[in-house]
Structure 1
């Protein structure tokens, strides 16, 4: 990262990002490491907390992973992390921050009001593509931010092709096991914070680490939504293009990173299915996005059955309410042509999936996000 940031700083005479990274990241990592080490000393119950049968929602970005994740997050059997909690991985930090919010709520909520205003301003440019916020469930890959193993850094800097946070299954065994051991410890602390429960995770980037997930969590449950790549790929590229442009990143870097991301998308569809086919012992469910948004309750009943999950009254109410709302899709449209992509090439590489899901029968020229 330092090498890439230094190169960009020399080229564009912008040294602030380099200096912020050079000073800020090691400092923050040190603070988190100290707090992390204090956790088992301050909270002995953490030693008894176990990560059992975690559920992972993976799949190509824009394929319904967020919708699926937030439906399941309303089920109290699950434990998950809110966005702000992801950047404070230790249990000590999480408890202190929750204490601050409780005090703030009891004294007028001035801090929460400021954060809501910052949230609205920060996420407004991409809110119509991907709605998020500080206090909603988000991708827990961000637990790995300060250890420099998270795709967050690709969102911040378009260094795709030079930094790879996706193909974890191809990493050397020692490197990936070290990373996932830390991730598991982060998950354990989140479960302890939430008072127990089954960990629920949503990460499109985890499509490249399915084998590693199974290696780390042999009792994992995995659910994979499937959506027409003519819709998901340009929608993802538009989201990333917007993020990088807002950060005023180099235009050539953006262009080359979008190309790498488009090529990676094929693997995102194929790799999870290939790994799950090799591991029939893993409980998994493949979900057609069209069924998820048109009949969420019936679809979620099937998902829970295939994953071996208990369907409680709260989940039943959530899924029934989703049936009443439906209409998850938006009116925003993105085209493959905008990014110089050939639909025939995508079709050729994903021919079996096009046949299975009959995506050829859907509109190809304009794509709903």
Structure 2
């Protein structure tokens, strides 16, 4: 099983140097004890997968679908609507990404059966309560929970290729998992091979003939690597007014850093790196798909998805060459009015950040013209 020792050493060195930060000891315990132990644990079960599930040797990943786009641009809503076509798609639930090996998931499924049949769902009820306490307060911002489909870049946590450490430690300016094409060819290939191995395991679990469905804002920078690894992949790119999603993302991540005890001067370099990534999230998918015109893809305006979700999803299916069943079409019809009311209750202010509305509009002028987004204070 792959593990990125290069990033591990960088994160460890950064945490070690933060001698005045109150959370230092807790993070060092994770890095020096928990990470090695869990890595050995996952690696052992990763190996056992090939013994217990020989179908894994021959499993293919055929025509996967990737939903990308800037964070807060509607990727979650699009992913949830597509995931409802459960007879077609396979995807990761959030809890499944804590256990990347197929054998691990099977053991947990057996324990869940034991809990239901012998203990009257005591463990399940406890986990449901924990889920509500942990994620309930944030669901008005981002719908998240153990049993909810989630962005599957988190499965890379086992390889220490994860955005989670950049939320605990403001080091986006030092550890960059967005610009995968800037890695050496060997590391880039290792990242994608590990991701593909995890997807294969999920397909063996959920149905070998299903289509893998992924949603990842981070993978807006991975489109080239995705198409090199999965040449028959389809890409769905969500687009939204940058003045709505850039400050929203900056605020959300800033809250994470502040909750860990970091001050503005601590996370400012990382926040500047995140701002640069924000622009790349808009530009890179478009640029990469422009040089691969044969790739099935669809750019989706967030306004269209919330105004006419049924018609928008039907257009996505048509663009990427999928047929819609009557059952799924009926689901979309029933969701139509509900999704029209979709909105975020997250408050933010662009004036809180170094980047200005005029700078955003100037940098992304061609997109403002193409999508006719309102100009600041028009």
TM-score w.r.t. the length of structure 1 is 0.95
Selected match of 2:316 from 290, 297, 303: 303
Unaligned runs of 5+ in 1: none
- Cα RMSD (Å): 1.7
Q: 1:41 aligned to 2:55?
A: no
Deviations for 1:332-368, whole angstroms, at most 9, x for unmatched residues?
Answer: 332211223210001111000000001125xx469xx
Q: Aligned pairs, how many?
A: 364
Deviates more, 1:13-22 or 1:336-345: 13-22
* In structure 1, C-alpha distance between the alignment counterparts of 2:90 and 2:57, rounded to whole Å: 18
d(CA) in 2 for partners of 1:327, 1:229: 21
| 2:105 paired residue number | 94
Residue 84 of structure 1: aligned partner: 95
Name the structure 1 match of 2:61: 51
User: For residue 369 of structure 2, what is the aligned residue in structure 1?
Assistant: 355
Please state how far the C-alpha of 1:11 moved relative to its aligned partner.
5.6
Q: Which residue of 1 aligns with 2:133?
A: 121
The answer to whether residue 31 in structure 2 is matched with residue 31 in structure 1 is no
**Deviations for 1:159-180, whole angstroms, at most 9, x for unmatched residues?**
1101101100221111010110
State whether structure 2 residue 252 is matched by structure 1 residue 252: no
Match of 2:302 in 1: 289
Equivalence for 1:336: 350
Within 2, Cα distance between the matches of 1:5 and 1:179? 23
1:109 match: 121
Structure 2, unpaired ranges of 5+: 1-10
Looking at structure 2, the residues matched to 227 and 312 of structure 1 have their Cα atoms a distance apart, in angstroms, of 29
Aligned to 1:230: 243
By how many angstroms is 1:250 displaced?
Answer: 4.5
Separation (CA, whole Å) in 1 of partners of 2:168 and 2:330: 38
More divergent stretch after superposition (181-190 vs 126-135)? 126-135
Task: String of CA shifts for 1:99-127, please: whole Å, max 9, x gaps.
Answer: 22222233321111111121122224432
Is the 1:159–1:253 Cα contact (8 Å) retained in structure 2? no
Q: Deviations over 1:27-66 (max 9, x none)?
A: 1011101100110111112223211000000000000000
1:202-224 CA deviation, whole Å, 9 max, x = no partner? 00000111100001000000000
3-state SS, counterpart of residue 329 of structure 1: coil
2:14 matches 1:4: yes
Deviations for 1:305-333, whole angstroms, at most 9, x for unmatched residues? Answer: 00001211232122112212121113433
Q: Contact 2:100–2:158 at 8 Å: present in 1 too?
A: no
Query: Displacement, 1:247?
Result: 2.7
CA contact (8 A) 1:150 1:165 kept: yes
CA distance in 1, matches of 2:306, 2:126: 34
Residue-by-residue CA offset, 1:143-195 (whole Å, 9 max, x unaligned): 11021112222223221101101100221111010110011000000011112
**In structure 2, what is the equivalent of residue 148 of structure 1?**
160
Structure 1 residue 216 corresponds to structure 2 residue 226:
no
Q: Report SS of the residue matched to 1:89.
A: coil
Q: Distance in 2 between matches of 1:348 and 1:63?
A: 19
CA distance in structure 1 between the aligned counterparts of 2:78 and 2:63, rounded to whole angstroms: 18
Contact 1:225 1:287 in 2 (8 A): yes
Distance (Å, rounded) in 2 between the aligned partners of 1:12 and 1:71: 41
Return the alpha-carbon distance in structure 1 between the equivalents of residues 202 and 94 of structure 2. Answer: 12
Tell me whether 326-335 or 155-164 shows the greater mean CA deviation.
Answer: 326-335
1:145–1:153 contact (8 Å) kept in structure 2:
no
Structure 1 counterpart of 2:178:
166
SS at 1:249 equivalent: coil
